[in-house]
Amino acid sequence: MKTPCPSCGHHNLEGMDRCEECLHSLMQRDLPRPKKNDPLQRVIMTAPVADLLTGADLLVANTTDTVQKIINTLKKKKKDCVLIYQKKKLVGIISQRDLLLRVAGKHKDLSAVKAEQIMTKNVEFVRGEDPIAFAVNKMSMGGFRHLPVLNAEGVPLSIISIKDVLGYLMKRHQAHE
């Protein structure tokens, strides 16, 4: 049995006092609850991340793929980031911001630069069953605009962005007007 952290959603062993991931107390009983008369607040605190998934957002590459290949794929698919996998395990992510900060003006031949040289490592992620509030909290705390969504086996389901969250909340808000 696992105890989900109310702050980050990490699943901790039962009986732990603090979250192994973010060190948030697992003993707090006074966590905020959504107001009954606020449907938007209730949605963001209770709806699962899986509600955001379209199945059309996922791009993956290998650590040995060249940066030029990844840029071509991002341009062709009109996407903002790609997950980097090695031996079926998520090991990194490359976003347009990574390309601007770590590649632009620093490498003359992008076909000689490998994904593993510029990718962001130790990628934060969420599970499909985590509340949207967990994803928003991770994005806010880490300064991320994109967050991978993995299943229990670590297989990627999708990548969500803050635009996905805002679009979903806007649709839900309009549905209640």
pLDDT of residue 32: 66
Let me know: does 9 contact 134? Beta carbons within 8 Å. yes
Over range 34-47, report the average pLDDT.
80
- Among 95, 89, 101, smallest CA distance to 146 is for 95
Per DSSP (E only), the strands in 105-155 are 126-127, 146-150
pLDDT tens readout for residues 78-100:
999 999 999 888 999 999 999 99
Interatomic CA distance for residues 21 and 93, integer angstroms: 19
Average pLDDT for the chain: 87
- Quote the tokens at residue 171: 């649709």
Q: What is the band of 31 on the pLDDT scale with cuts at 50, 70, 90?
A: low
Q: Looking at per-residue confidence, does 40 or 156 come out higher?
A: 156
Interatomic CA distance for residues 22 and 8, integer angstroms: 7
Q: Looking at per-residue confidence, does 49 or 38 come out higher?
A: 49
pLDDT of residue 70: 96
Which of 39-43, 138-142, 168-172 is least confident? 39-43
- Quote the tokens at residue 23: 């060190």
- Would you say residue 41 has pLDDT above 90? no
- Would you say residue 29 has pLDDT above 60? no
Per-position b or e across 105-139, b if 16+ CB within 10 A of its CB: eeeeebeebbbbebbbeebbbbbbebbbbbbbbbb
Contacts of 173 (CB under 8 A, 6+ apart): 39, 40
